[in-house]
């Protein structure tokens, strides 16, 4: 039994991390003795020419793609190509978008045979076994599928004990490419969210009851991740601080082991305390992200956020006092948004900025499964597009009675321009020789990321960086220079920027070369 898992294309601007959900699925399959391969279209360019040899050589019985709303079209395109290459392969689509649009997908997307609804580890193993034995789909829990002219849905309760899950199979992920791009690596210490924000699918996707992992297992995983060379670990729990005893147990285990790591987490402003934040900081936490959403008290009540502005101020000040960088995020275009409520949010954001708190703005995206979409007629909202590729929350796809989409776009664009101006100022200081290495590093790292990403997505290392060794290779004390010369003509960047990025990648062991059988071969390094 062979299963191909697919991570669909996701823009590099969205700071993707190695696909944790697929790693958990792969872990469950491998524990069951099922062979797995993973196709990661985030850091590999997808094309039929690349897919065809994989399907021919691996011969998967089952192909599964995950997708959020923004990436579902890309996922469907890959599954469509798989069906074109081999119609006998069973295809499955999972993730939050598929979970809440299962009927629409099965009715309109012939390239999808099965939809996985909710947590997929046990579901995918059961589906693989059903295909292997010919048992039929009705016995597989947690799916939707076609049966004649009807769509059948089978139930699957949330996993009761997530400690029983197999460890994520990260060895199948091209980790080195994410590391080369400067992306963080993510993990979770819990699943579930007890809160009822009208714009979020988290509670519906994985349940209202928060299920916690054993702190020992959590820190075992953190210890392993710390050996992989990533600059940061992101705790991707919906709410790491939901339970103080769990949070402190994880932090104290880190401290007891003397583990030196940098990590970040998500929190609510009403779930943190000085004791908790101080312990988190000592254990390596550098940043805590808070969803503030609005600077208007009435808006916070309307969206069932359940926090106050006073709690926001108190929480971010506690972070600052404890040496943690707090980050606040806001959502524009919530139900009832008016010019006055927007002004209150902008003013509150500036107040946080004067305290030294970074903040950012997104625009409401009414994702399938959210309360705000399912009860759209009860809210002051008009959905302007069901082009799922536009559901990235950086441009308006909704309007309220009082605020036009252009108004919300202008606020987000202003933030983007301020960031560009900040980078521009760093560049001016750098060119004038007045920027320290620490000041210049954010811009330099971004330049490296852009060049290296182009190098990946154009497959230049694979296609141009294997050559017959000659005398120059034997005598060349700087083999990186030959690599730079071979690829620079295919990259639309200044030559010195290309040189700096590739030299950086080689020096940090993101790229390496071997000489064997008379050939010089460069490659991306997956593990350190």
Provide mean pLDDT across the span 411-432: 96
Of 515 and 473, the structure prediction assigns the larger pLDDT to 515
Measure the CA–CA gap between 265 and 464, rounded to whole angstroms.
40
Q: How many CA atoms lie within 13 A of 161 on its CB side?
A: 3
**What pLDDT does residue 206 have?**
86
Q: How many CA atoms lie within 13 A of 434 on its CB side?
A: 6
Helices (H) and strands (E) in the chain, counts: 21, 20
**What pLDDT does residue 518 have?**
86
Provide mean pLDDT across the span 403-429: 97
Measure the CA–CA gap between 230 and 176, rounded to whole angstroms.
9
Instruction: Tally Cβ neighbours within 10 Å of residue 69.
Output: 25
Question: Residue 472 above 70 pLDDT?
Answer: no
Question: Residue 477 above 90 pLDDT?
Answer: no
Helix H or strand E segment including 359? strand 358-363
Let me know if 378 is exposed, middle or buried by CB neighbors in 10 A (0-12, 13-18, 19+). Answer: exposed
Measure the CA–CA gap between 511 and 387, rounded to whole angstroms.
38
As beta bridge partners, residue 358 has 327
Highest mean pLDDT among 142-146, 461-465, 471-475: 142-146
Matching residue, tokens 């000659």: 470
**What pLDDT does residue 479 have?**
82
**DSSP symbol at 362:** E
Query: Is residue 475 very low, low, confident or very high in pLDDT (cuts 50, 70, 90)?
Result: low
For residue 115, CA distances in Å to 110, 123, 411 come to 12, 10, 37
Measure the CA–CA gap between 247 and 266, rounded to whole angstroms.
12
Provide mean pLDDT across the span 370-379: 94
Measure the CA–CA gap between 82 and 91, rounded to whole angstroms.
8
How does pLDDT run across 69-108, given as a tens digit for each residue?
999 999 999 999 999 999 999 999 999 999 999 999 999 9
Helix/strand/coil percent split, the chain, to 5:
50, 15, 35
Determine contact, residues 329/290, Cβ cutoff 8 Å. yes
Provide mean pLDDT across the span 110-117: 97
Q: How far is CA 204 from the centre of its chain?
A: 19
Determine contact, residues 411/332, Cβ cutoff 8 Å. yes
Query: Is residue 309 very low, low, confident or very high in pLDDT (cuts 50, 70, 90)?
Result: very high
Mean pLDDT of the chain: 95
Measure the CA–CA gap between 335 and 58, rounded to whole angstroms.
49
């Amino acid at each position: 039994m062979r299963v191909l898992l697919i991570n669909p294309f996701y823009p590099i601007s969205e700071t993707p991390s190695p696909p944790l959900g697929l790693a958990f699925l792969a872990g469950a399959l491998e524990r069951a003795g099922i062979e797995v391969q993973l196709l990661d279209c985030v850091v590999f360019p997808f094309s039929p020419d690349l897919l065809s040899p994989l399907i021919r050589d691996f011969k998967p019985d089952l192909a599964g793609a995950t997708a959020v709303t923004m990436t579902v079209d890309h996922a469907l395109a890959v599954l469509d190509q798989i069906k074109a290459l081999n119609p006998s392969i069973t295809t499955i689509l999972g993730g939050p978008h598929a979970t809440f649009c299962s009927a629409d997908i099965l009715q309109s997307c012939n390239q999808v045979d099965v939809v996985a609804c909710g947590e997929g580890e046990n579901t995918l193993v059961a589906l693989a076994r059903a295909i292997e034995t010919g048992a039929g789909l009705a016995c597989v829990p947690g799916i939707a599928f076609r049966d004649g002219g009807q769509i059948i849905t089978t139930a699957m309760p949330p996993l009761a004990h997530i400690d029983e899950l197999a460890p994520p199979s990260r060895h199948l992920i091209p980790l080195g490419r994410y590391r080369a791009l400067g992306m963080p690596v993510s993990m979770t210490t819990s699943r579930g969210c007890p809160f009822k924000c009208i714009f979020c699918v988290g509670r519906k996707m994985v349940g209202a009851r928060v299920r916690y992992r054993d702190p020992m297992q959590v820190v075992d995983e953190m210890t392993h991740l710390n050996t992989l060379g990533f600059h940061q670990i992101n705790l991707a729990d919906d709410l790491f601080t939901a339970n103080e005893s769990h949070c402190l147990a994880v932090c104290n285990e880190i401290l007891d082991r003397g583990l030196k790591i940098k990590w970040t987490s998500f929190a609510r402003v009403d779930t943190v305390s000085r004791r908790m934040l101080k312990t988190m900081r000592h254990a390596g936490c550098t940043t805590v992200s808070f969803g503030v959403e609005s600077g208007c008290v009435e808006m916070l009540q309307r969206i069932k956020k359940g926090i106050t502005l006073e709690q926001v101020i108190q929480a971010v000040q506690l972070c600052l006092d404890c040496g943690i960088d707090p980050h606040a995020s806001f959502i524009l275009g919530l139900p009832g948004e008016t010019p006055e409520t927007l002004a209150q949010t902008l003013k509150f954001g500036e107040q946080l900025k004067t305290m030294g708190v970074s903040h950012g703005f997104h625009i409401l995206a009414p994702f399938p499964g959210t309360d705000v979409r399912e009860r759209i007629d009860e809210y002051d909202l008009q959905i302007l597009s069901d082009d799922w590729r536009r559901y990235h929350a950086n441009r308006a796809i909704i309007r309220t009675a009082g605020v036009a989409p252009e108004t919300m776009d202008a606020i987000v664009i202003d933030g983007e321009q301020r960031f560009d101006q900040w980078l521009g100022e760093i560049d001016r200081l750098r060119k004038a020789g007045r920027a320290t290495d620490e000041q210049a590093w954010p811009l330099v790292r971004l330049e490296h990321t852009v060049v290296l990403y182009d190098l990946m997505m154009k497959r230049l290392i694979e296609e141009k960086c294997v050559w017959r060794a000659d005398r120059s290779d034997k005598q060349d004390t700087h083999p990186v220079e030959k690599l730079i010369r071979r690829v620079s003509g295919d990259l639309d960047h200044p030559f010195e920027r290309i040189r700096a990025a590739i030299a950086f990648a080689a020096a940090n062991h993101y790229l390496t070369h071997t000489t064997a059988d008379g050939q010089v071969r460069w490659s991306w390094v997956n593990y350190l």
